[in-house]
Amino acid sequence: MEREEVKKRIAERFGSKVRIAERSPKRVYVYAENEIWTDLARFLFDDLNARFDTGAAVDDANGVEVMFFFPFDREHYFVTIKTFAAKPNPTLNSIAAYIPGAKWIEREMFEMYEVNFLNHPDLRPVLRADTRPGDYYPAKREVKDDHETVRQRDDGDARADEVAGKAPKGKNP
Amino acid sequence: MVKKIPIGPFHPLLEEPEFFELHVDGERVVGIDITIGWSHRGIELLSEHKTWDQVPFLVERICGICSCSHPYAYVKAVEDLCQIEVPLRAQYIRCIAAELERLHSHLLWTGLAGHFLGYNTVFMWTWKFREPVLDILEAVTGNRNHYAVMKPGGVRRDLPQEEVPNIIKMLDQVEKENAMLTKAILDDPVIHARTKGVGIFNKDQCRLYGALGPTARSAGYDVDDRRDHPIDAYDKVSFNVILCEHGDVFDKAVVRQLENFESIKIIRQCLKLIEDTKPGDICAEIREVPPGEGIGVYEAPRGEVLHYVRSNGGNMPMRHKVRAPSFNNILTNELSVLGNTIADAGLITAAVDPCYSCTERIGIVDRASGGRRVLTEADLVRLSHEKTEALRKRFAEGRENG
């Protein structure tokens, strides 16, 4: 399905609940509200016949941005749908309940960023060893204020250079 | 002592051990639990501490076999973010290196499949045939593996023009040997009996599970990023996307073997077309990476590799997501091993071409007795060899009897 048609169909179906941006002819980004998140994914996958690819998460001060990639192969472009799961308890409905291919990537996002996917068929960590504590989310950053990001180390200590807002010594500036 | 491991999300199935727990009823597999994460190296987190130009050296070490595909997808993500065009000569060099990688990866898998089946001659031959491909890679990139050729904006090394006649000669040889190998495999009745109808994963399941590469194409699920999301020179060359329909182990092998011919075809075209480009013009300059995000995809030997990068305008990615094809393909084992025998389970899980480690093990839960035993890789290979040998004897007796 052509790009313009897809954008039109999404806008018709979800109206003000989505915002559509286009960075290039091959990349369309759809920002969706949490409540229609799974509906949008299913609409792309079932009704518009997009292929499910994978997902990704980006952490920031206020929450976790979660995105899934849906390529339209015959027309050579990607539609990326995005939503925002707010901290302190980022929660979203699971699309793995409908698209089994999303099972592991949602488990990974849960494990790394503490995104709780409701209705996931088997939401348990996918990568971590059994010996690791359940309440530790390695990729999650604790933000102290607007400028400082602190990432916990193995031993639980904060990295001094990150706290100070400096680049680590010996690393590239 | 409980230890915390600060790691970024990464998919280690490609390189190191994974753990499959098979649930069996007698010899039949009735369930499987897959555990991954045994060798998480935190590549994504490391990447966020490297400059844009250093990251290719890191990501080509995600996988020894796909050491061209990961940097390729990464540089495409950066180029998508920066919206820049790569010089034509660099496009051809990238495609040549990437297709050579596909050739050696597919040959490597065929050899391993032969080993699993008990055809060690296939294993030895295939790996011998693979050697000239590595030699060509060395001629093109300077390295047999970890090519260090990809760079945002182009490539690091020009193709030495004087090497081209020798490369073409070696390609002719590889093609001849691949043809012989393909015929030997496709004509063998024992291989047919051993792999046909085994580990079926159908087209509809492929779509639901997001299967990729030869795993998907063997079931007729028509996805190939070289055609669907053509990057660089892929829209300037002609090639066929190889499709089968049954989705079993045999079709997976067929797809890989026939794709080798297509790769050789692409390389030949690139070597011809590169003559019209200007030597030395191999990299576009990227002065700075603007804030924003980029998606890069490339059809690796095992399927689509996806890299996502986000920039805040600094000289390092603020987020770098890597999705290797085995992350999707390994999940297909959830269904493809069901109903098969334990002797076939090793072959089926290997058919998606994950990177196994020598420490691979499979745990067995026997439903009837409730007991638990562990089979080593050697046990699985032995079971597989015994089954092949039984089939071979049965075919031999059939011939003798008439």
Q: What is the pLDDT of residues B254-284, one digit of tens each?
A: 999 999 999 999 999 999 999 999 999 999 9
Sign for the pseudo-dihedral over CA of B164, B169, B173, B176: positive
Chain A, nearest residue to B209 by Cα? A101
Q: Do A54 and B83 touch (CB under 8 A)?
A: no
What is the CATH number for A141?
Answer: 3.30.460.80
The verdict on A169 touching B (C-beta cutoff 8 Å) is no
What average pLDDT does the structure give for chain B?
A: 85
> Is B18 or A28 the better-scoring residue by pLDDT?
A28
Pairing outcome for strands A149-150 and A142-143: antiparallel
Strand partners of residue B34? B20
What average pLDDT does the structure give for chain A?
A: 83
Q: How close A59 comes to chain B (CA, Å)?
A: 9
Q: What is the CATH number of domain B43-327?
A: 1.10.645.10
pLDDT at A149 over 50: yes
CA atoms within 13 A on the CB side of B402: 0
What was the pLDDT predicted at A150? Answer: 52
User: Which of chain A's residues have a Cβ under 8 Å away from the Cβ of B320?
Assistant: none
Please state, in angstroms and rounded to a whole number, the distance separating the CA atoms of residues B62 and B55.
11
Q: Would you state the structure tokens that stand for residue A31, as one six-digit string?
A: 């920002």
pLDDT at B402 over 80: no
Angle at B53 between CA B324 and CA A61, to 5 degrees: 70
Query: For A61-90, what is each residue's pLDDT tens digit?
Result: 889 999 999 999 999 999 999 999 998 899
- Could you tell me the residue ranges of all domains in chain B? 3-39+330-401, 43-327
Is the ipTM beyond the 0.95 threshold? no
Q: What percent of chain A is predicted at pLDDT more than 70?
A: 77
pLDDT band of residue B352 (cuts 50, 70, 90) is: confident
Closest CA to B256 of B333, B297, B207, B195: B195
Q: Could you tell me which residues come within 8 angstroms of residue B203 by beta carbon, excluding any fewer than 6 positions away? A: B219, B220, B221, B245, B247
- Chain A interface disruption, residue of B40, B50, B228, B316, most A CBs within 10 A: B228
Which of A51, A104, A131 lies nearest to residue B2, judging by beta carbons?
A131
pLDDT at B355 over 80: no
Q: Do A132 and B316 touch (CB under 8 A)?
A: no
The total number of structural domains in chain A stands at 1
pLDDT at B358 over 80: no
Q: Could you tell me which residues come within 8 angstroms of residue B79 by beta carbon, excluding any fewer than 6 positions away? A: B86, B152, B153, B294, B296
In a domain, residue A156? The reply is: no
Residue A53 sits in which domain range? Answer: 3-146
User: Which of chain B's residues have a Cβ under 8 Å away from the Cβ of A152?
Assistant: 4, 6
Which of A:44-73 have CB within 8 Å of B?
51-54, 56-58, 67, 69, 71, 73
Strand (E) or helix (H) holding B78: helix B69-82
Please state, in angstroms and rounded to a whole number, the distance separating the CA atoms of residues A56 and A106.
9
Q: Could you tell me which residues come within 8 angstroms of residue B29 by beta carbon, excluding any fewer than 6 positions away? A: B22, B23, B337, B338, B339, B340, B341, B342, B345
CB distance B82 to B53 below 8 Å = no
CB distance B322 to B11 below 8 Å = yes
Query: For B152-180, what is each residue's pLDDT tens digit?
Result: 999 999 999 999 999 999 999 999 999 99
What was the pLDDT predicted at A148? Answer: 47
- Strand, helix or coil for residue B36: coil
Q: Do B4 and A154 touch (CB under 8 A)?
A: yes
> Is B19 or A166 the better-scoring residue by pLDDT?
B19
Average pLDDT in the A2-23 region? Answer: 94
Query: For B101-150, what is each residue's pLDDT tens digit?
Result: 999 999 999 998 888 888 888 889 999 999 999 999 999 999 998 999 99
Please state, in angstroms and rounded to a whole number, the distance separating the CA atoms of residues A59 and A39.
23
The verdict on A10 touching B (C-beta cutoff 8 Å) is no
Task: Return the DSSP state at B285.
Answer: -
Chain B, nearest residue to A134 by Cα? B4
Q: Would you state the structure tokens that stand for residue B87, as one six-digit string?
A: 């010089």
